[in-house]
Amino acid sequence: MHRKVAQCLIALISLTSLVAPARAGSDDGLLTLEMLYHPLHKTKFEAAPLTHLNWDAQNRLIETQMKDGIVQQWIVDPVTWEKHLLKADDNLSALLTAAGIDADDVQRILKELTPQIKPEVHSYLFSYRKDLWLLDRRHNTVRELTHTPNDTKDEAILSPDARSVAYLKGNDLYVTDVASARERRLTSDGSDTNLNGRLDWVYMEEIYGRGKHRAFWWSPDSKKLAFLNFDESKVPLYTLSGDFALPAKPQSTRYPKAGDPNPVVRLGIVDLKAQTIWTENPYPGSETLIVQVGWAPDGHLLAAWQDRVQSWLDLRLYDQKNAGSQQASRSRVMVRESSPAWTERLPLPVFLKDGGFLWESDRSGHRHIYRYDQAYHLKAALTQGDWDVRHVDGVDELRSRVLFVSNERNPIGNDVYSVQLDGQHRQRLSADSGMHTVRWNTHFTYFLDSWSSLRQPPKQALFNDAGEQVRLIDDAGIPVQLHNLKQAIMKQQQVPTRDGFAMESLLFLPPDFDPKKKYPVVQNVYAGPMAPQVRDRWNANLWYQFLAQHGYVVWILDNRSASDKGVASAWPIHRNLGQLELQDQLDGLAWLRQQGWADMDRIALNGWSYGGYFTSYAMTHSKAWKLGLVGAPVTDWRLYDSVYTERYMGLPQENQRGYEQSSVPLAAKDLSGKILIMHGTMDDNVHPQNSVMLIDALIKSDKDYELQLYPGQGHGVRGDWLTWSLQKARWRFIKDNL
């Protein structure tokens, strides 16, 4: 339940973008469910793209366009905005076709390659019929690198010098020489329970990011790779029945639930002659996680280790650069982090020319930047305060400053900042409030900024290093189609908890809202640790607009642990999920009651994933909500994966009371109101077992429920007809019962 992916998942299930060239509403300005979701009758809504601009390694601003398979690139003068064609057009479509690639695959490959095209990069990898191919833009050639169409190649990546490509076949690591197309197998003991260079399920989902299976990293000199090895022999096997097909298509995954054995992980270094050195385990006899791997610019290997329940984190540096030496296995701690609850996975350090480094840490309860010298001694905190650094963009050592993004001005947005390397003269460089995505040039003299806010559709502009706008590039404004709709009235406000914490909230009120009337409320919730829904970015949500047009108020509230206002705001939920989140949300309802227009007897709660957990928990631990729409819920934390659950709850063997108090099935007899349970039958993340065990407890408690199953679907519901079924079920349940 990786927090960023969970937020994207909710967006895929519930939201539809409104920035669209197509007609967005009927003549009366009202939306229909068919217009939003029906596979044959829905209106197509597509966001107008921003101009595709990037900086190249020569510090030039490059605009890229592709039409009909032809790539065009221009050098853009940042001052005059004059454009000069960079080179002759590349007809990639013709190159791919001439290489013998089928027309349908040509279009797929073009979609994959186009966003990657940069002037200084000449070599690009792609997969075709299970083999790896190389696009060489320097020589305008396309050629096959591997010749084993029966074996899938995963996670291919070129070496820094572009002379070799590393990839996975099965659970072993391979490398192919680009010039000769000669393949070499680097590991040979891969099996179903022994993974070389491939992340197992729990590491992929909870540590390195959903969809990322690569567990190997090229060294800066392109002579070796660091990789992780996973022994999964003791990890329990969980099988989903696959009853959506005939014959059935069962799917089995090594999945450690809370308290189960985790995979045993080793860190190795392998050279291009297939010689492997294993790093020494610095914590013999202890269960640990390896949560970051990388290389320092000088070739030293880096890794971040955590204990099983993630109460501490050690950043370790491996002493020898020579992978052929046994001494390469030894390491020393550069930085240790710990907390009163859990320690977040932190980025690898940013190294300075003097041998020191910058390190992001949550040690104060907020994410800030710290400077260390080459002996790993803390020199200074470069930032501090009750706000958070979101990420470091780079270090401009010529001007002795760090460029970063933080939420200092706006707790639900971010801004671009600079600060001197001694921590002095912090300066905000972005003017407009909102959410900013920044791309600096290599000399840190200009930056491209793409931003939006709740009130402002996306813009893109070029700024100099002082934050002065040089040119506004994109500003589509509010689409005409929005003006044709009867739009909800959107309000953003802070809501105090009983002890004064400022929770962020959004309201979407009916277009003809009358504060003297009473309105039913549909509340959308996620509630999970440090995963807010309220963000200061463009929110043209047609589902919310649809509900508001039909007389419902849409209410979104981030409880404090979900607010992402420093990890300290989430620490109080440690070892007791559900209770504090519920109390905060009840404080939100108390504020809602004070407004006078909310019908407090007609409030629905809707959530998916952690939001599904919270909805089911709230419906069984309070009487505040009339309806609960429960999507893919964790219902008992003993049923969810070890890494996520133990971070927040500890081990079940050591926190039995906390697990029992947070359980929904154990409280099924106290269900208040009606619930609709929704779950994909092939959900390998939050297993359907969660919903089945809740249903079993409800039946035994003589409690009614409604159920929607989505055959063959995973943690999210995808596909036109399945999405249509989901949204119909939601709308019917709300309309008939609220």
- Please give the full DSSP string across 62-82, using - where no structure is assigned: EEEEEETTEEEEEEE-TTT--
Residue type present at position 185: R
Q: Which token pair is 544? A: 């919310």
Q: In what order do the strands lie in the sheet with 553-557?
A: 489-496, 502-509, 553-557, 519-525, 598-608, 627-631, 674-680, 706-710
Distance of alpha carbon 171 from alpha carbon 195, whole angstroms: 5
Torsion region of 622: left, alpha or beta (phi above 0 gives left; psi -120 to 50 gives alpha): beta
Quick one: tokens of 319?
A: 């002493």
Is residue 378 within 8 A of residue 372, CB to CB? The reply is: yes
Dist CA 103 CA 100 (whole Å): 9
Distance (Å, whole) CA 428 – CA 737: 49
Q: What is the DSSP string of 499-567?
A: T--EEEEEEEE-TT--TTS-EEEEEEE---TT--S--SS----HHHHHHHHTTPEEEEE--GGGS-S-G
Spatial separation of the C-alpha atoms in residues 367 and 105, rounded to whole Å: 44
* Number of Cβ atoms within 10 Å of the Cβ of 358: 19
* Residue whose pair of structure tokens reads 């277009």 in the numeric block: 511
- Within 10 angstroms of residue 665's Cβ, the number of other Cβ atoms is 21
Closest CA to 272 of 157, 143, 184: 184
Mutual angle of helices 610-621 and 579-595, in 10-degree steps: 70
CA atoms within 13 A on the CB side of 118: 13
Q: What distance in Å separates the CA atoms of residue 417 and residue 382, rounded to the nearest whole number?
A: 12
**Which position among 388, 683, 687, 691 bears the catalytic label?**
683
Do 33 and 727 contact (CB within 8 A), yes or no? yes
Q: Residues 300, 366, 436, 715: which is the catalytic one?
A: 715
715 part of the active site: yes
CA 664 – CA 686 distance, rounded (Å): 14
Picking from 219, 118, 116, 115, the residue whose alpha carbon sits closest to that of residue 160 is: 219
Specify whether 38 is catalytic. no
Identified catalytic residue from 561, 569, 609, 691 = 609
Does residue 683 have an active-site annotation?
yes
How far, in whole angstroms, is CA 199 from its chain's centroid?
17
Q: How many CA atoms lie within 13 A of 43 on its CB side?
A: 20
Catalytic residues: 609, 683, 715
